[in-house]
Chain A
Amino acid sequence: MKRLNGRKPGELRPVVVKAGVIEQADGSALVSMGKTTAVAAVYGPAILHPRRLQLSDRTFLKTVYAMAPFSTTERVRPGRSRRGTEICMVTRHALEPALFLEENPKAGIGVYIDILQADSGTRTAGINAASVALADAGISMRDLVTSVAVGKVDGEYFLDLEGEEEDVTKCDLPIAYMPRGKKITLLQMDGDMPAKDIKELLNLAVKGCEILYEKQKQALKERWLVK
């Protein structure tokens, strides 16, 4: 199968990363991967209320992922969904290894991700945006976190699935990755794949993450560099 928009199998969609897009937030970012657009805002670290959520040995990290009602062809009903709850959880687990949460016990950091437009890979775009927003907010991090999904269509490994590719792929495998430490922080997959393909797919996903890492760094530099 030819890829949509004439992409090569190992090519990302056109990626746009912008840091500092929400004035009110302590840090923020917008990430577009093709037609998928995610905006992330970070608030904190700040005093955490209610008090019962406070952790005595580290900062409480809250992640909220939400799809805007107009983000898909069929209107998304606002409010909690099982899918959304799971994505909030895996997003938190994907970001947490990069943070020094022990620095500010009892405080809270809020990471809010809005999907404005969805065309596959919303959790990965959300994680990419959240990571840039955390760095933009001046939060202590040991690494940035980058994220992309891979799949296999007609015998070929595809990087960064979009649109109908997601319907025909033999599997959908999103990862999040810390490029400096070379560690995977999110790993999910559903589909039907021999074990040896999983290895190839992971290698391809890591390659994609390394490209995204450069885009993230570039966006942060553009925001903060002396002009």
Chain B
Amino acid sequence: MSELLKKDRELVIPGDEIIRSMDFLPGKNCFREGNSIYTKKIGLVSVNRRVISVIPLSGVYIPKAGDMVLGEVIDIQNNGWVIDIKSVSEAFLPLSGVREFIDTSKTDLSKVYGMGDVVYAKISGTGATSVYLTMQDSRSRKLRSGRVVKMSPAKVPRLIGKEGSMINLIKNKTNCMISIGQNGLVWFEGEKESKVIDAIGLIEREAVVDGLTDKVSKLLEG
């Protein structure tokens, strides 16, 4: 017998019991103890078939392979670059992750990416305590101008919206190029940059509100 104690989309607090059943599996941000599944994090319950998970509402970015992130070069080693991606550990961009071939005996690595340079890169893989980046992705590039703001990584999915609906709306209405890092760093450049900041601020404040798209739309029109 299974007993769902919290509804789908219901707010849960760490330690809250979500379901008493062995027929379900604990997914992201959940754990099992005895017959029950509990949440580890503050967030919203998500029931997907037999998997119970919790969508977090706060927290720092935890790296995941395939994610696009924004980061800053903080160290240059003889085989690559150390990048701060505002996460639980630093990320490493190895020479093999760069598109062009670099002969280290001839090229000064700091000429490729120097200290303080900002890159938009893909996470190629993660180990227990290591994160690897690659620029071998069509979206990857070094960012030379524009601006970067930081938002809560937990709210990045709302900034993107369903199939990119929210971000496309913002791009169109502001006439800006925008690159979103899953780590909560957002780069943008274009006509109405201040509107982009306003929109991100609104999403950050009211991420859990229904009808968010309308609200953002109204803000961008005004």
Contacts and interface: CB of A to CB of B under 8 A. Distances in A.
Q: A–B direct touch, CB within 8 Å, in complex?
A: yes
Interface of A: 26-27, 44-47, 56, 59, 98, 100, 104-107, 135-144, 178-180, 217, 220-221, 224-227
B211 to A, nearest CB: 11
B58 interface: yes
Contacts of A178: 15
Contact of B58 (A27, A44, A45, A98): A27
Interface string B29-50: 1010100001011110000000
Nearest to B30: A140
A217 B57 CA distance: 15
A135 to B, nearest CB: 5
B209 interface: yes
B72 to A, nearest CB: 13
A221 B13 CA distance: 8
Given A104-B88, A105-B128, A220-B42, A135 B60 contact: no
B83 to A, nearest CB: 11
Does more than half of chain B's interface fall in helix, strand or loop, or is it mixed?
Answer: loop
Interface pairs A-B: 10 shortest CB-CB = A138-B59, A138-B58, A141-B14, A140-B40, A107-B88, A143-B15, A104-B88, A180-B15, A45-B88, A226-B208
Does more than half of chain A's interface fall in helix, strand or loop, or is it mixed?
Answer: loop
B31 A135 contact: no
Given A106-B89, A138-B58, A138-B154, A225 B11 contact: yes
Interface of B: 11, 13-15, 17, 29, 31, 33, 38, 40-43, 56-60, 62, 84, 87-90, 128-129, 154, 208-210
Contacts of A140: 14, 29, 40-41
29 contacts: A46-B60, A46-B88, A47-B88, A98-B14, A100-B31, A104-B88, A104-B89, A105-B128, A105-B129, A106-B89, A106-B129, A137-B59, A138-B43, A138-B59, A139-B41, A140-B29, A140-B41, A141-B14, A142-B40, A144-B14, A178-B15, A179-B15, A180-B15, A180-B17, A220-B42, A221-B13, A224-B42, A225-B11, A226-B11
A100 B58 contact: no
Contacts of B41: 135, 138-141
